[in-house]
Amino acid sequence: MRRPVAFVLKGYPRLSETFIAQEILALERRGLDVRIVSLRRPADRALHPAHRAIRAPVAYLPEYLWHAPLRVVAGWWRARRLPGYGAAWCAWRADLARDRTANRVRRFGQACVLAAEAPAAIGQFHAHFLHTPASVTRYAAVMRGLPWSVSAHAKDIWTTPEWEKREKLAACAWAVTCTRAGWRALDALAPTGRVELVYHGLDLERFPPAPPGETRDGVDPAHPVRILAVARAVPKKGLDDLLAALATLPTGLHWHLTHVGGGPLRASLEAQARAAGIAARVTWLGARPQEDVLAAYRAADLFALSPRVAADGDRDGLPNVLVEAQSQGLAVVATAIAGVPELIEPEVNGVLVEPGDRAALTSALARLIADPALRARLGAAGAARVRRDFDLGAGIDRLAAKFGVD
């Protein structure tokens, strides 16, 4: 009988990580016994439907060791009696010598609690993200003498030091990542065959085809073209580029932008919109559950996303929102970064511009706002591409096989 797998996540549940929730739910439905371990308690109040459907129990580790000193000491006391504690201690000390940070100390403390408290039935640990969650997972797995695996995504691939990625990839049983760009970066550092490309895909039962909507061409100020952006307000999403591009559109084009997502840059983006004189044309909805996001896709005429490489090297993989938007027949304009070109073929099922090129983004937006026939053609092609190549089932088949379930 297949033993349970502990999925170690940085935070759970999180509205911005629908791809993790839909994966866990799909694997549960295939028969995998999942136990969720989160390094943080949730900051989001709302839940996606997938979160409500997941049956896995959730355990929360102390986010900061001083929050639960007795629990941490008890965890360490029990963990040091585990057969692999000495090896985990040596691995951690080697890591600490190259990364002398409080975060590195916290990772080991959390790993002690995880190794001590995880049920005896656990047969494998699986980390989502190659940075902090994989560190905690690796140390705990070594203590318990169990295999561990990892799903790498975006920031964790591009901001984790090379030495750390190389050592984790050598130590894990297997790894998957969700873009060809990410796979190339990790495959170059890993033992042959250790890393596989597995797209997240989309649960198409939750995203059935959209009903026909109105046709708008930006001429009538009473019926502006509705542009949608779904993205966290963080530097790598390039929302300031999008606002700057919108601010320079021809005055005769009528449009309205709706933004869905939380994030620390929200206030500065609102200030940018006010300074550019477009505040009345922008609605800020904040983070929303999946039902509301689906309604926003269906109310929109055009989807816009302008990710770029942030100053610290962070960047997107293949944003799941692009797949969601295309599943609803929305025309998409985006920047050609990381895994985005793996979904969007220019002028076939979307429009791509170079990251940070605000003038090109303005031109692309103007063309799509004014041409509903072009939007319809690109949107239809995008929907067909998603249903052909990005169904969740194909990726889950491969993951289920790796976890040893049907």
Render 110-147 in DSSP notation, one character per residue: HHHHHHHHS-TT--EEEEESTTHHHHHHHHHHHHHT--
Statement: residue 46 has pLDDT above 80? no
Percent of the chain at pLDDT > 90 equals 86
In sequence order, which residues have a C-beta less than 8 Å from that of residue 116 and are 6 or more positions away? 74, 75, 76, 77, 78, 79, 82
* Same domain membership, residue 106 and residue 12: yes
Question: pLDDT at position 15, please?
Answer: 82
pLDDT computed for residue 316 by the predictor: 86
In a domain, 373, yes or no: yes
The answer to the question of residue 208 being in a domain is: no
Please indicate, yes or no, whether residues 308 and 397 belong to a single structural domain of this protein.
no
Which pLDDT does position 44 carry in this prediction?
74
Stated pTM of the model: 0.89
- Same domain membership, residue 271 and residue 127: no
The number of folded domains in the chain is 2
Query: For 4-16, how does the pLDDT look when each residue is reduced to its tens digit (9 = 90+)?
Result: 999 999 999 988 8
Same domain, 136 and 150: yes
Q: Is 14 within the bounds of a domain? A: yes
Q: With respect to residue 210, please indicate whether it lies within any of the assigned structural domains.
A: no
User: Residue 219 domain-assigned?
Assistant: no
> Are residues 157 and 37 part of one domain?
yes
Domain for residue 39, yes or no?
Answer: yes
Looking at residue 148, its pLDDT comes to 98
Residue 144 in this model has a pLDDT that exceeds 90? yes
Bigger pLDDT: 348 or 211?
A: 348
**Same domain for 19 and 164?**
yes
Same domain flag for 55 and 189: yes
**What is the mean pLDDT of the segment spanning 223-251?**
96
Question: Which amino acid appears at position 21 of this protein?
Answer: A
In a domain, 206, yes or no: no
Lowest mean pLDDT among 53-57, 342-346, 390-394: 390-394
Per-residue model confidence (pLDDT) at position 286: 93
Which helix (H) or strand (E) segment holds residue 196: the answer is strand 195-197
Cβ atoms of 209 and 382 within 8 Å: the answer is: no
250 and 376 together in one domain: yes
Tell me, yes or no, whether 295 and 170 share the same domain: no
Name residue 127's amino acid.
A
Question: Which pLDDT score, from 0 to 100, does residue 57 have?
Answer: 96
pLDDT band of residue 315 (cuts 50, 70, 90) is: confident
Query: How many CB atoms are located within 10 Å of the residue 184 CB?
Result: 12
* Residue 49 predicted with pLDDT over 90: no
Decide if pLDDT at 45 tops 80.
no
- Alpha-carbon distance of 154 to 318, in angstroms, equals 8
Handedness of CA 318, 321, 327, 333 (dihedral sign): negative
Position 109 scores a pLDDT of 97
Q: Quick one: pLDDT at residue 390?
A: 92
pLDDT value at residue 358 = 97
399: its two tokens:
């993951």
From residue 227, give the alpha-carbon distance in Å to each of 251, 336, 369.
Answer: 16, 19, 9
Task: Give residues with Cβ within 8 angstroms of 363, minimum separation 6.
Answer: none
Question: Can you list the pairs that 121-124 forms with residues at least 24 positions away whose Cβ atoms lie under 8 Å?
Answer: 121/3, 121/4, 122/3, 122/4, 122/5, 122/6, 122/35, 122/146, 123/2, 123/3, 123/4, 123/5, 124/3, 124/5, 124/6, 124/148, 124/149, 124/173, 124/403
- Average pLDDT in the chain: 95
What range defines the domain where residue 179 resides? 5-201+391-403
214 within a domain of the structure (yes/no): no
> Taking a C-beta distance cutoff of 8 angstroms, is the pair 383, 329 a contact?
yes
Report how far Cα 155 is from the mean position of its chain's Cα atoms.
9
Is 209:398 a contact under the CB 8 Å cutoff?
no
Do 239 and 159 belong together in one domain?
no
Same domain for 352 and 296, yes or no, is: yes
Q: How confident is the model at residue 98 (pLDDT cuts 50, 70, 90)?
A: very high
pLDDT band at 1 (very low <50, low <70, confident <90, very high): low
Question: In angstroms, rounded to a whole number, what is the distance separating the alpha carbons of residues 63 and 56?
Answer: 20
Give yes or no: residues 115 and 156 share one domain: yes
Provide the CATH number for the domain around residue 287.
3.40.50.2000
Amino acid at 130: L
301 within 8 A of 217, measured Cβ to Cβ = no
